[in-house]
Structure 1
């Protein structure tokens, strides 16, 4: 049996398509290589001329770039801005296409008796379709390139305008088509140039290497431009994803900061409430021993009250362990402060080099432990922020005792107060708070949470008369009369 009759012999037609496929891919790589080589050359020339370009650019640009929102007055930025607007407009393609057509007819006029001739028809067919190149690039390119090739094959006069239009069309196709299609375009264009040189003498005045390089360079530059634009879009998408990730991370950090502050407040309130419940338990346990004439039912009632109070303390400790945000609880070595210790806080601020004045308005009176603790912590955090962001500034603390609320106002006159941004994440909430973008701490978050917990109002930001001001309103009705509802 001959070798041709063996079943495992390769098909005789497989060799041809493989060669065509490799030639197709090779042509695309050649075009890309020519375009990349041109980019390297242009980049090298740009680096050599960079010092001179910097001087010329400084004169044309008029110095450093203007601030956002300010119109550029230097020649180059103004003209570039106008050019970008025109190039992006819908009428740019029609105007340039018509301009190429008029230029082609004007160039042809000295060589022919009338534009209504075969050369005139070829000139119009090679340029006028570019009017619609933005919407229908491939059909327009087919008509324009076919008309230009037909004019060369029929021996018509070679026009500079139609040549520029053809090269620009090849550039536009290379910029729009994928890499494989660009290789097919380059191979077809080179083959067309070879046919023109072999069949006619239209391009005898142009060296064939120059013609081939011009065709491949136009397509290669378009392909290189497509790669640059694709890389720019990829980088922009990556930056957008990074920005979204950072935004989500910042949101998580803010949420964690709020949870930590709430856990801290919960620990403080635990100490306050635990002290009160312990007093209830102690008094209930000692009542049977201090009162002689108690019935058995009364003694049993006091015992039940003491037992319930002890169980409440245990449950409160369990609740605190659930709310705790950190791994280890923060032990308190001293009882929770109240407003009677505000003078000690003022002395500490003065001892650290700060200047502070305390003014009390209204009739001072004993308030609930929660309200006084919240007011103390708000003043403490405000003084800490003043020392951190406006060291040496004069601070004024105002406490205003009103019938239904306690108002706290802390203002410093330092110019170094940080610029805060209004947090509008919860526009329906009663508490308006300003967050610190520098991330130096979460004091404002804690102050907001303390005011919100009491149903009050809180604001912080630059004062109109200069410096920074923190204001809080802590209502008393919610503590003194829980059943009373706020007016709507």
Structure 2
């Protein structure tokens, strides 16, 4: 029982029209050469297999053995059966042309190994032909050994008996002949299979790269959407609160109204600056790098708290623990979480008057805690863009986000970023 070869279930594609034409030309050329060799053999009188048959029969056997090779890649199994049968029949009839016929048999065995679509049938058929050829060789030796002239080995000087030496030499030469034909056929088929595997892997790589590019585009869109939401929602919310305050006091207190309008102007300018910074980052990948302002981080959290004060909240900000440098991505995430939490207070918290923002540097993490004393104007939406954006930012750095009502009233947003994980990540 033969050992399974990698790709046994794979069927090699049939020959191309160009390869079929090459087989036709090669088969016809080998047949012409065989006829030429027959002429040379008859001219020398070297009839090694015995008295030859008639000239027409000699020509018939000389053509019958190599000509089927014109179908060697299209029908390799049929070709090897016909060639081997014609080869044995030609030798049995003592056809004098044997050199080119032997090449044709070699090519037939090789072609079945290289192009046979059914690997199991291909192996069995080649082994069957090789066994048959050795059996024929044994029959030939058995029939001819008795007719060897007494003086055939008169010049023999070696230590091995002449008849035994001739038998061993014949078996050795034929063993190498058939072994190489079998081996080269297998090697050719395996090479074609490896090429098929490489083509499949290359196609899989192209598909994977296309999927990765698609995922990168989606990820970039999500990131841009998150940034736009954080920037626009926060500043527009602050402007809305300030505009409402200016409207209420416009007729009664011009100073307060002017202060509110000034805050709207500054907030709008800040929003435009941040949008310009985002557009600059997007353009940086399309052309020569330009100077792009660094994104906001923990050092600007107090500015968010200050804008909350300007909007009328009693806002406080405190830092606990020893401040340590944070990776830029973590620093920006902390800033955006605070910004979005303050935006939610301004937009959705009814009756909120107190806002408390705390930043804690702990042993292995940094924590930001934003609380207020207001009541949600409507049921919290866990699928809201603000909460989704905060969760995504925190999850990107392996952190945890808590969002919900406090026991004593109000709302709390708490985010924890593990410093060990954050520092290990590229920034």
TM (norm. structure 2) is 0.47
| TM-score, scaled to structure 1 | 0.42
Higher Rg: 2
